[in-house]
Chains A and B, each alone.
Chain A
């Protein structure tokens, strides 16, 4: 952007105005990695996180559509929904999987506040051809809205179906920012602040992981054997997730992929096959054109 001035500037100042945005700025000081620990075992499905996120980020409401599946009418994360509460009704489960709560039936109602996983090795960031998607100084994954040109490659790269192109609004890719603006001012993200049960915890990733492991141990001790961590110690996408979860069933129940492959790992094998094909085709071409019979 060229700065507009009302007074006459010298030619040197004009050149400086044009060149300075192109020069590399000093990077912000590195901070400890921050993230989310979403503990679904204490989620009460109040959706305060969805509302707080919408309000803080000034996101529009989705078109109301009756899903018919429990209390979830949001259905998925989108370009303008960055927290999505899932409700899973498990009626008539098989007897052996007994929850420790001394009820007479095994029916459960699982609730899970889904969000961007802020992967340590984010496929969206690896795919982005403009450099719009970056890891911030807090090691969160952030889309710079003034750079993104809406190519949509991050959309197909994400194995969790998080990031999407905002077709109604900016036509750029949008997703949870982990309230980057709040973090810079030392505040916790809106969803974590609004959560009444502290199911969504915000803090330093290493600290949260320790808390999560402790919580998992406690649940296992009490007999909740199906409890598991997702994004901690399971090397998802070769590096764990900065926004991880404690789940009460297998990931597929929450539409989470068990062990998704990292898309950028496909580049090398696919390229080798392309090179091999290129060689074969070139040899074929050379053979037929050199043969003058």
Chain B
């Protein structure tokens, strides 16, 4: 038995759950101490908070909303600051933005307890409530995105050449992009701010979630636009710009997440830990691992390679990995919030410090 113990111990040390646990301790700066935690008083370990009522509808809304916002921003930047050949990024971005926006209202409405009363959100505008601000942002971006895309459609000749289409095509799309981008930036970040303005320890202890959601919106949108552009004829220089942007934003996203974990400390355990109700395995493998670190490494290699003619496959793979990672990130954050709400000890610890 002794002979098998040594390799067994080594295998255990390298086991994914052990690695994840090490990462969790390293990034949060908190080592779980079950004895010390058990000595903290609670009311029979019953939860202090109520669990969030949001499920898959909101997770997908976060994903599509981020894509809608990010695509609009990238499209606008390409339209305002890019070269003439970058026009394809603007066109694709604007179309994708509207497409990504389409499922958002049905998802939000379906998530409500009383969906038929969805218009009640429009009764007020409460600056203190991110949900109120966000609803208006969704409506505003629908307006900007819709109008911008309509102008694009007219310019692409899809509405024929009647006087109405020509008038639409002549509207100042780039001028519209300025307020539209501001609203898009709001839409991409407000969902994170919404989660921060709650009592759930995982979401509210660090104030970085708004920034992280925005970075993730831009990284997933860059991935989506790159994916689509690689399937059609696109100048290599344009693709290179997107690749460099993707590389920087992925790096920023990883750094942002690490900062978020460090600031959250013990409150981040449900997201990165490996206990039965914690989501560390999904987070480290599919959100941080194959969703950020792996595509970033692949992108680094791809940028360093000096080949002028590249196969589209690495780029397509990177885009898919980033998109999947963005979805898993949102899913684990929401589901871990559920876990965080049910942990009385961490809730009471969070309220003390």
The residues of B with any CB-CB pair to A shorter than 8 Å are 40-44, 46-54, 73-74, 77-78, 81-83, 86, 89, 111-115, 117-118, 120-121, 123-124, 126, 128-132, 135, 181, 185, 189-190, 192-194, 196-200, 204, 207-212, 214-215, 218, 237, 241, 244-245, 248-249, 252, 256, 337, 341, 344, 347-348, 350-352
Contacts and interface: CB of A to CB of B under 8 A. Distances in A.
Interface in A240-267: 250, 252-261, 263-264, 266-267
Given A130-B120, A263-B204, A270-B209, A153 B131 contact: yes
Interface in A135-174: 147-153, 155-167, 170-173
Contact of B113 (A86, A150, A271, A285): A150
Nearest to B126: A129
A126 interface: yes
B192 A149 contact: no
B199 A263 contact: yes
A289 B81 contact: yes
A164 B50 contact: yes
A165 B113 contact: yes
A281 B217 CA distance: 11
Given A161-B48, A257-B347, 13 more contacts: A129-B121, A147-B117, A156-B52, A257-B348, A259-B351, A260-B351, A261-B351, A267-B193, A267-B197, A270-B210, A274-B190, A277-B214, A292-B83
A149 B121 contact: yes
B214 A266 contact: no
B348 A128 contact: no
A131 B131 CA distance: 12
Contacts of A88: 43
Contacts of B121: 129-130, 149, 151
Interface in A53-75: 67, 69, 72, 75
Contact of A274 (B43, B189, B237, B347): B189
Contacts of B348: 252, 255, 257-258
A31 interface: no
A23 B350 CA distance: 44
Nearest to A67: B44
Interface string A270-289: 11011011101110111011
* Chain B contact residues: helix, strand, loop or mixed: helix
A163 B51 CA distance: 11
Contact of A156 (B46, B132, B341): B341
Contact of B50 (A126, A163, A280): A163
Given A129-B124, A129-B129, A284-B245, A156 B352 contact: no
Nearest to B194: A153
Given A156-B198, A164-B50, A257-B347, A267 B130 contact: yes
Nearest to A110: B43
Nearest to B130: A267
A258 B199 contact: no
B67 to A, nearest CB: 15
Interface of A: 67, 69, 72, 75-76, 86, 88, 123, 126-132, 147-153, 155-167, 170-173, 250, 252-261, 263-264, 266-267, 269-271, 273-274, 276-278, 280-282, 284-286, 288-292
A130 B120 CA distance: 5
B86 A289 contact: yes
A121 B46 CA distance: 25
A291 B351 contact: no
B248 A284 contact: yes
Contacts of A252: 40-42, 348, 352
A161 B200 CA distance: 10
Contacts of A289: 77-78, 81-83, 86, 89, 241, 245
Nearest to B58: A152
B57 to A, nearest CB: 11
A286 B81 contact: yes
A188 B149 CA distance: 59
A129 B54 CA distance: 16
A270 B196 contact: yes
Contact of B344 (A147, A170, A255, A260): A255
Contact of B43 (A155, A167, A255, A286): A255
B189 A127 contact: no
Nearest to A256: B48
A6 B123 CA distance: 31
B198 A263 contact: yes
Nearest to A162: B50
A152 B207 contact: no
Most buried by B among A127, A172, A255, A285: A285
Contact of B214 (A127, A129, A274, A291): A274
A98 B48 CA distance: 28
Given A131-B123, A152-B52, A159 B352 contact: no
A261 B201 CA distance: 10
Nearest to B44: A69
A266 B120 contact: no
Given A127-B129, A149-B113, A292-B83, A281 B214 contact: yes
A198 B115 CA distance: 43
A246 to B, nearest CB: 17
Given A130-B123, A131-B126, A152-B52, A285 B211 contact: no
A282 to B, nearest CB: 7
Given A155-B52, A281-B249, A86 B204 contact: no
Contacts of A160: 48
